[in-house]
Chain A
Amino acid sequence: MNRMFAIVEREMRKFFRSPTLMIMSLMMPILQLLIMGNAFGGKIVGEKVAFVDYDHGPQAVKLREAFNSIAVNIKTFTTIEYTDEVQAREDVRTGKINAAVIIPAQYSRRVYAHDAPVLGLVVDDTDQFSSSSIESEMQLVINSLTAPVIQPRMASQIALEIVELYPYINYMKFLLPLTVALAMYISVMIGGGMLYIDDKARGVHEGYLVTPITSLELVFGLNLAGSLKAILAGICLTVIGSLMAGLGTIFHLMADLELLALIIAGSIAFNGMMFLLMVRVDDPLVPRAMFGILNVLLLYPSGGMYPIAAFPAWLRAISVIDPFTYCVDGFKAVLLKDGGFVAIQYDLLFLLVFGVGTLLIATPLFKRTM
């Protein structure tokens, strides 16, 4: 045991003596949280919409007033007067404007005559976010204009009453679980994988192998040290990220214990996976080359950025065995939903089984000789 702790001591002393690893483990996830959290979470504003009016009737004036009200209030778009529909379409195509509303001739008359009035909306659907925002604002305007002035006593249509269980979750908060998992993964990748192979290449392992240390002590020492580094990275990012995103969960003791359990289980899982991947590698270039590939392969299918339900079957299969998926799910359950241990028990179980399992496979693959 003493020999195993000597390995841990060496790794941790190095870790604290050279803060670069800690800083680099935290910097990328924090930047991701800061930039992506702000970039993806915001509402679309300032789009330009052409207003082509061939009607000039009272209903067209009502529409113009409604659009002007959007321009000064919610600011999703501002309208620009066009006289030619063809020119407006061309300008949408060339990107000068984002959409064009076309009010055909006789529009007001058709409205009053209940004769299926139609408005045209030309959108640039290469940008789904902008076009759907304009479409939805436009739909709201039309709904309000077509609503009856006097509400009927008996509602004829089925109404859906939505109950939101949690307060509004902005994108930064939504992204935090993935960011914590990412910090742990980077710490394992740099502090576990890369340093392990670098030490091998520098001959440090040769120094270990001539001592009476056993394979098991060496493997467990290296993995314990790697997991401890990831745990520290996970704790730091949970605290910093929660403060950045404005989440108060970390101020509740039970939630802290649940988060700690997840961080420990996640660190063991990431570390076990990394050790299994690196156990027979000697070339220091390999972990560096694998870093990006693993990042894409594990991060995106985790459901931390986009719902797993929207994935094709092959991508869902990756999510099922991806430790990121269970880390993200667990952190979401605690940080965003305050779900308690019941909500994270299966995530914890998977992460621990995955971590121990990969370590059990890696241990016999570890060579006690050079």
Chain B
Amino acid sequence: MTSPAIEVAHIVKRYGSFEAVKDVSFSVADGEIFGLLGPNGAGKSTLIRMMTTLIPLTAGHAVISGHDVAREPDAVRRMIGVIPQALTSDPDLTVEENLSIYAKLYSVPRAEREKNIASVLEAVDLTKWRGAQVKTLSGGMRRRVEIARGLVHNPRIFFLDEPTTGLDPVSRIAVWEMLSKLRATRNLTILITTHYMNEADKLCDRLAIVDHGTLVALGTPLELKHNVPGTNVVEVHFDRETEEWQQRLEQLEGVSSVQAESAGYYRVLTSSGSKTTMQLVELAASLGESLTSLSVQNTTLDDVFVHYTGRQLRDEQVKPPVFMIPPRPGMQP
């Protein structure tokens, strides 16, 4: 049996009295794409920074490719490629210059440097942009430069901290495809942090859900979804909001939980989507109420997150504005 690429055991990170990471343990197998899913401030970046030697561990230990992070940080650094959350390639330098400087920082021999740069540029589809200054590239292309930069020394394990944040949907999908291809062609183990459910669902072989510094769930996306009671999610929007809807919906057959999203809008977890849908239509008709919309879908990672943390991921992401600019007089609402 081969040893795991990443093994994290009971790691803790404390800043004074604040515990950013609380006794987290997991392991990542060779060649696996592993996701750390959680809202902003959950401790994902702290976890990744501990594993990549950027911040010291308060307690526990992490072993990366057979090397202890605390005792052999240099050996760990040689094994890993890291893409931080921010775009940190030099905008004034060309794509090739950025890669060349990082190859030198990793002490890649001169003979291999040219070959590696050509190979990673081809892998991220930037060969024809090798002479372009990074500042002239689009956001998606700059992210690809970062990915190429992290691979220029042929690492075995690749850490990406929210690699698609700020990208448009097309660029995001392009990054997913690229990472899957890189894993296959370079036999990479990839650890990725994200707060996008669909990204975690589509890209990761296994997931760890992190909330408030604690690992709350671990498994494949399918396993995690199966753990949620109910196999379907019915989203229903009533024309008129009344106080009784929540209670009435909970009493329907097969319903395991009801979550009020906004006025008249409910998300219902049920063991049978079709049966609940019919009951809902009948209930609305008998009460003389009308439905604005109704949809049935399979359980998503959103539901998994709600199940394990008791709240929605987007509650954390969408913060209410602190200050509202009053409308100008005469402006249409």
Q: Which residues of A contact B (CB under 8 A)?
A: 2-3, 5-7, 9-10, 13-14, 17-18, 202-204, 206-213, 369-370
Query: Taking the nearest CB of chain B, how far is it from the CB of A330, in angstroms?
Result: 34
A6 and B104 within 8 A (CB) = yes
8 Å CB interface, B73-102 against A: 74, 77-78, 80, 82, 84-86, 88, 90, 92-93, 97, 101-102
From known contacts A6-B101, A206-B54, infer whether A212 and B106 are also in contact, taking CB-CB under 8 Å: yes
B90 and A10 within 8 A (CB) = yes
10 shortest interchain CB distances as A-B pairs: A6-B104, A203-B86, A17-B92, A210-B82, A211-B105, A203-B88, A212-B77, A10-B101, A207-B88, A370-B54
A207 to B92, CA, bound (A): 17
B54 and A210 within 8 A (CB) = yes
A6 and B93 within 8 A (CB) = no
A18 to B92, CA, bound (A): 7
Q: Which residues of B contact A203 (CB under 8 A)?
A: 84-86, 88
**B281 touches A (CB below 8 Å):** no
Query: Taking the nearest CB of chain B, how far is it from the CB of A1, in angstroms?
Result: 10
Q: Which residues of B contact A208 (CB under 8 A)?
A: 105
Main secondary structure of the interface of A (DSSP, over half): helix
A370 and B85 within 8 A (CB) = no
From known contacts A10-B101, A17-B93, A211-B77, infer whether A202 and B86 are also in contact, taking CB-CB under 8 Å: yes
**Cβ-closest chain B residue relative to A210:** B82
With beta carbons under 8 angstroms apart, the residue of A6, A202, A210 that contacts B52 is: A210
Q: Which residues of A contact B90 (CB under 8 A)?
A: 10, 13-14, 204
A203 to B53, CA, bound (A): 15
**B49 touches A (CB below 8 Å):** yes
**B131 touches A (CB below 8 Å):** no
8 Å CB interface, B22-61 against A: 49, 52-56
B104 and A9 within 8 A (CB) = yes
**B107 touches A (CB below 8 Å):** yes
Q: Which residues of B contact A13 (CB under 8 A)?
A: 90, 92-93, 97
B107 and A370 within 8 A (CB) = no
With beta carbons under 8 angstroms apart, the residue of B56, B74, B93 that contacts A14 is: B93
With beta carbons under 8 angstroms apart, the residue of A9, A14, A202, A370 that contacts B55 is: A370
A212 and B49 within 8 A (CB) = no
Q: Which residues of B contact A209 (CB under 8 A)?
A: 53-54
A369 to B80, CA, bound (A): 16
Q: Which residues of A contact B54 (CB under 8 A)?
A: 206, 209-210, 369-370
B55 and A369 within 8 A (CB) = yes
A207 to B86, CA, bound (A): 10
A213 to B77, CA, bound (A): 9
